[in-house]
Each structure stands twice: as structure tokens, then as C-alpha cells.
Chain A
């Protein structure tokens, strides 16, 4: 699956990630995957993977900041570590300055590391408490054989000054610094080997607001001075909006939307991005409330939903081709299906449930028959059967469940490219990477102009 997203060889790109996957083995120990069964052969061996990062592609241009945002557990940090090859990728490739990191190993990889550095979230635990700040900053230079001892000390002092610390603090221990200052030490350490690319994993989320602003400003100044490229991970959309040039939104191991910052924040085209933007509290008491909140928890990455991974929580799930309900009626069905799945109510009386979930539209025809059947099961307290009917016949029939979305659409506000993984964008897509056969008969909204 390629074609949507950046071209294979973009001369501006410093880093190109192609179809990167990282699965973790969910079994622990030698016998972890062995289970007992009451049928022959009595012993079964199962294995399940946690698909933390599943088919991610993007480019980072030289000198830009790509923001990566998503809820906890969506795979942001795993992606960052896999890109740097601190974790071994399961499949896919990462081209850094034209070379495939995934195929490097040993000494060539180690040398490559000089150009890529990382800054971690917790400034406390990423500094050795028994080392003085000077040697902490010098250590990477020593590891890469840069300069002699005096040169390194001079450079460390210079860097401390660059990140806004007093070079006199060369001989102090990390505990003598505040959180924001420790993060500055981390910055100085990352800069010591003169890298081109820095991955920042939630670098300011442990800091107070006023300190956060100081560190963000310093990071921007350094980027300009040293011509750095950042991959900036955060869960805080305000920080992302401030620092990024382009933003990628991640959900359950996939990138669901990627566009220029202004475009993404002002013209979000994926329902998940909208939901995220709508959920952030705005520091303005007159901003008014929010429209609709996402319900439910993020599904497990061990067995993620088919098709679009967001479909189990999506407020805009597309109606299956087989039915012809009004939008309100379809919303009601979806709402009811999710309520049954979550066992969110105790009522079993069909009429009461109709009144509660379908007051502005009860489905008729086939859909009506199926709903009656499900309501009958609930009345007899057969919840699993009711759930099976509603899920299999409604939710799983949707194009969102049968085909994986991947569309590139026109940016409305900027010149950059806009990638949105949502089937609602089918008819406006300029490129798509969707398996067309899966769309047959389901293309209710018209066929996208596929040039894949």
C-alpha cells in the first residue's frame, strides 16, 4: 500500500518513513503462549501481537518541525523509538539522509546515531544524578570521538550558554537544577554531537506553564541557529500548534491525518482530529461548551478494529450500502449498538428502549426487522445475541469496517499536502490507496478519482 503520501525520493526530505510497523510479542515467558484446551490435542499454542505502530509513512523535510499528537497508548513513543532504531522495526523502512536505517547495524548504525538525538519527557530520570552536568554534556562527544578533552569542555560550556544556562554551572550536579533547567541540560547534551535531527518525546509536558514557554522558545531559537529538524511528540495540542510546521495525528498505531499546521487546526478533515480539537479546554471562559464528546475507550491494539481503527468510536460512521435510513435514524442505530456493547443501560423493555434511543427516527424495512430481533434478545436478557446482531449486521457492514481508508485531499488553506484516512473524504480525494475491490457496492458517496 503506497502511493498516497510522499513520493519515494523527495530531495527535501531528511527523514522518510515508509510503512513502518512495530509489533510487540504479547506472550511472556517460555510457556506464556501455551494454553489448555478440552479437545485433542489438549494443548494449544497461541500468539498475539500488540500492534503498537502499524503501517506508518511520513516525511520530514530538512529544518522543519513535525508535530506528532495522539492520546496515551496510541504508539507515539514507540514510533519515535523505532524511527531512531532504539527499537527494532518489525517491517518497513526508515531512510535518513537517503540511507535505510532499518538495514544498518553495528558500527555504521552507531556512526549514524551521531546525527540523530533524542530528548525524553522526564528531565530528572534522563540525567545521571551522580554525574556533573559538564561530563553529561561531554559524554556523547566522547562516545563519538569528537574533539580532545579540552575541546570538549570548551564546547560543553559554550552549549550550556547557548541553551540558557550559566557556563559556570559546568561542575554542578543535576539535582541543583530545576525541572526546566534540567531539560535545558538535556538539550545541550543532544546538541553536543551536532545532530541534524532531534526527536523530542514530550519534552515540556512535565514542566510548569511559565517554564514550558521558556523551554519552547529556547528550542525554537536553537532550531534556527543550528538548522535542526525536530520530530516533536506531545499530547498537548496547544504546544503542538505553537511549535510545529506540520502535524500528524495518530490513533491506535496509525496516522489518521497529516497536514500543515494551519490546515490541520482550522480545517480538520478526520473525525478523530475534530474530536480531539473539540475536547481541549480553551483558556477563555467565553468560548462556550463543546459539541459532542467521544465516548468509549480506545480499543486494544492486540486486536484492533478492521478497516478504519477509529470506527468503533467515530461519530460519523458511514451507513452500510444495504440500508437506506435517514441520517438521524442511522445515528440512533449506531448509538444504540454502542450502548448495548458497553451494557450502558439496564432497561430491557423494547418500547422504553425505542423511546429512549429512537425517539426521532426508528428504522424501517430490513433494518427495522433486525432491530426488533435485537430488542427481543434484550428483553429475554440475551445480551450477547443482541450485540452480535447489531454489530455484525450494522457496524461491521459499514465501508469503514471493510476497507482501510487512505486519501490525499486538497489543502484548503495552505499549499502543503493533506492526508486524511477517512472514507468520508472519498469523493474529494486527489489520490487514494484503498483496496478498490473492498469498495465495490459500498461507494455510496461516489467513486474517488483514484490514480493509485
Chain B
């Protein structure tokens, strides 16, 4: 395989709060190759959005990227080294803040957010905002940028782009606004677009249109995508490879077909089983018990053991790393669960443990509780 476009290694992002250190992203590694759509899927609180902001180095205080490497097209977006005194400091070849701003963000890596209304300024026209973005990032003069902006609006399926150019964001429907953001993301023909739940707030019919459009545009421009979502259906529809996140860690990595048909991690199976299906009637949903624990104080061993139906004693003690579980010759499929032979830590002989059942009592009440008031 060729060199990956983006390579993330052992990325750790933490938030230093009064209550303690929140390990929002705790050592994740994944690659994005040219022209593929990579899914990043998980429930809220899994650390998906923190992971993507870390890639763009958009993490603000009290958060900080504390470790790992991010390489993009041979350049170092983030990397640390030890100085003489044993302290970690950024490596010399790491891009500076101004290089990130001028060269990477928007131009090379664009991002589309969930709520289009928050990404568009309500007091400027849609066309004006798009034009300004193109003008700055592509060094075009205003007239050329305007032409380009109108072309991009047409490209993403906005009817009558010349007249819509002068309208304000509130005059656009939700789906249309999301199209504008996609136009903005595509305008500089970046190599990578990070889409952070871009269709979650939209109706199914509009979501369908946007997904179709993205697939078409992706073929046309050969852009790579990181598609962040909590929706397994969207993953099934557009992703090539998928990373499943749970509590700051990637627990399974596979091609989309393998993920659905040869699921290796109990969390992924549980997620798939808990969903009602549109295409058939499911008599009984099997929910995952409890809620995701806080990232401040994650469970020992495997982080999912407290909710896992297959948990054994050993899961409480051994923290599984991602290991290759694929058959020889097949596409890489990694998973972090000790029930697989690749781990050999005595799972089969270990006694089963009681997991949280009944989904109710005290399960997942936040640490502080309510009585303190």
C-alpha cells in the first residue's frame, strides 16, 4: 500500500479540569489513505470530536495534546521529542501555528461541522462568506473569487446560485446551509475533509441527498474524508474503512463490510444490536446496559468491561491493545478484546463477572450527585 495521506499515532489529548484530568483521547492510531472515506464512530463522549480537533490542532485550554504523532503528507502536524532535561517539547519540524493557519486549515484539511447555522455568520451573505474564503485561501481577486463561489454553489446543487449568492444564511434551509458548508470545504480542493456529524441534524430525505452528493463529489475530486458519526447506518452507506471509538480509545478497526459481517469487538456488536432497523421489524431491542463511564476515571482493564455482556475477570485486569485479528491474506482487521486468541491471557478459563444489569440503579449517575447542593 502507498503512504497514507494522514497518519495518526498514539494520539493523546487531555483536559485539565478542577475535578481531574479528562483523558478524552487516549492513545489512538489510524491512517487515512488517498481517496477513501474513513469513519470514526462512537457514542457521545467517546472522544470523536476531540480527536478531529486535535488533528487540526484546534484544542484549546484547558485541553492539550500531550502525546503522539500526526503526520500529513510528510509534514509533521504534531510531534514531541525529549530535550536534554527529559522534558517533552515540540519537535523542530512541527508546523508553526501560522503555517497551520495559512497552509493547512481550510486549504489542505477542511472541516464541516454538525450545525451549519453556527458555522455561517448570520449577518453576512452566504455568497460573500464563500467568496472571502476563496479569496483568502486561493489568492484570487474578488471578481474571480465570486465566479468561483457561484460555480461551487452550483456544484453542490444550490438552485439559481446567482440569485442565492446574495441571500443570508437564514434564508437557506438546513440542508441548503449544509451544502454551502460543503461548497466551502471543497472550494480550495483540499486533500482531506473532516466531516463532524454533518447530516445528524438533517431530515432523512435531505440526509440521503447529501450523502449521495458527497459520494459523487468524492469520486470527482478524489478527496479523502474522515466521517465522524454516531450513526451506523451512515457508516454502512458511505465509509470504506471504519474506526470504532469507546471512551477515548479505538477498539476496532476494519473495512466496512468486515465490521458489519465479521464483528470482532463486543461493543461494536452491542451497538449494532441496540439499533432499531428500518428494513425489518425487530421484536426486541437489546440495549447496552448502563451508560458510558466518565473519561476522568476510566474503568481498569478493558474500558468496556463494566457494560460488556461477555466480560470475564481477566477483562478487569488486562488492558487490551489493538491487535491484528484478520485471517491471513484478508484485509487488516484489528480489535481490542481479550476474548480473541491473539491475546492469550487466559480468557477462556477466567470466571465471568457480573455486569451492570437493570440499567437503572445508580448506574451512570454522574460522580458529584445531586445532594451536594
Which residues in A have some Cβ–Cβ distance to B below 8 Å? 71-72, 132-133, 161, 163-166, 168-169, 171-173, 175-178, 180-181, 184, 208-214, 216-217, 235-239, 241-243, 261-262, 265, 275-287, 290, 293-295, 297, 342-344
Contact = CB atoms under 8 A, between A and B. Distances in A.
A212 to B, nearest CB: 7
A208 B44 contact: yes
Given A166-B360, A283-B275, A209 B43 contact: yes
B286 A178 contact: no
A175 B289 CA distance: 21
A282 B236 contact: yes
A281 B276 contact: no
Contact of B160 (A168, A290, A343): A343
A176 B272 contact: no
Nearest to B236: A285
Contacts of B286: 213
Given A239-B276, A286-B260, 12 more contacts: A164-B359, A165-B361, A166-B360, A177-B366, A180-B291, A210-B274, A211-B287, A236-B276, A280-B208, A286-B257, A287-B279, A343-B163
Interface in B268-290: 270-272, 274-279, 281-282, 284-289
A213 B274 contact: yes
Given A175-B370, A178-B366, A213-B286, A293 B276 contact: no
Nearest to B201: A72
B90 interface: no
A287 B58 CA distance: 37
Contact of A172 (B211, B279, B369): B369
A274 to B, nearest CB: 11
Contacts of B276: 212-213, 216, 236, 238-239, 241-243
Contact of A209 (B176, B259, B260, B275): B275
B203 A241 contact: no
Given A71-B203, A287-B279, A293-B208, A281 B234 contact: yes
B370 A171 contact: yes
B313 interface: no
B207 interface: yes
Given A177-B365, A283-B275, A293-B205, A165 B360 contact: yes
Contacts of B237: 281-282, 285
Interface stretch (B189-197, B225-233, B321-329, B338-346): B225-233
A281 B211 contact: yes
B17 interface: no
Contacts of A293: 205, 208-209, 212
B276 to A, nearest CB: 4
B360 A238 contact: no
A176 B281 contact: no
B37 to A, nearest CB: 12
4 closest Cβ contacts across the A-B interface? A172-B370, A213-B287, A242-B276, A176-B370
Contact of A208 (B43, B176, B236, B359): B43
Nearest to A211: B291
Contacts of B174: 72
Given A171-B371, A208-B44, A297 B279 contact: no
A266 B233 CA distance: 19
A172 B277 contact: no
Contacts of A238: 233, 275-278
B271 A209 contact: yes
A181 B370 CA distance: 14
Contacts of B211: 281
- Among A209, A210, A216, A343, find the residue whose CB has the most chain B CB atoms closer than 10 A: A210
Contact of A214 (B43, B234, B287, B361): B287
Residue among A175, A242, A275, A343 facing the most chain B CB atoms (10 A cut-off): A242
A72 B203 contact: yes
B187 interface: no
Nearest to B205: A279
A239 B276 CA distance: 6
A286 to B, nearest CB: 7
A284 B279 contact: yes
Given A176-B369, A208-B44, A283 B277 contact: yes
13 contacts: A164-B360, A171-B371, A213-B286, A214-B287, A214-B289, A217-B284, A217-B285, A238-B276, A242-B277, A277-B278, A281-B237, A283-B277, A284-B279
Which one of A164, A211, A265 has the greatest number of beta carbons of chain B within 10 Å? A211
Contacts of A282: 233, 236-237, 277-279
A54 B218 CA distance: 42
A175 B256 CA distance: 37
A169 B365 contact: yes
A71 B173 contact: no
B291 A281 contact: no
Given A178-B364, A280-B233, A342-B160, A285 B370 contact: no
A169 B208 CA distance: 42
A210 B230 CA distance: 10
A163 B360 CA distance: 8
Contacts of A242: 276-277, 281-282, 285
Given A235-B203, A276-B205, A209 B364 contact: no
Contacts of A265: 278, 281
A305 B187 CA distance: 36
Contacts of B291: 178, 180, 211
Given A71-B203, A210-B43, A241-B278, A283 B285 contact: no
A36 to B, nearest CB: 23
B19 interface: no
Contact of A241 (B233, B281, B287): B281
Nearest to A215: B287
B362 interface: yes
Best-surrounded residue of B163, B174, B209, B365 (most CB of chain A within 10 A): B365
**Which of B159, B204, B208, B366 gathers the greatest number of chain A CB atoms within 10 Å?**
B204
A168 B275 CA distance: 31
Nearest to B46: A208
A276 B190 CA distance: 33
A293 B274 CA distance: 28
B358 interface: yes
Contacts of B139: none
B368 interface: yes
Contact of B236 (A132, A175, A287): A287
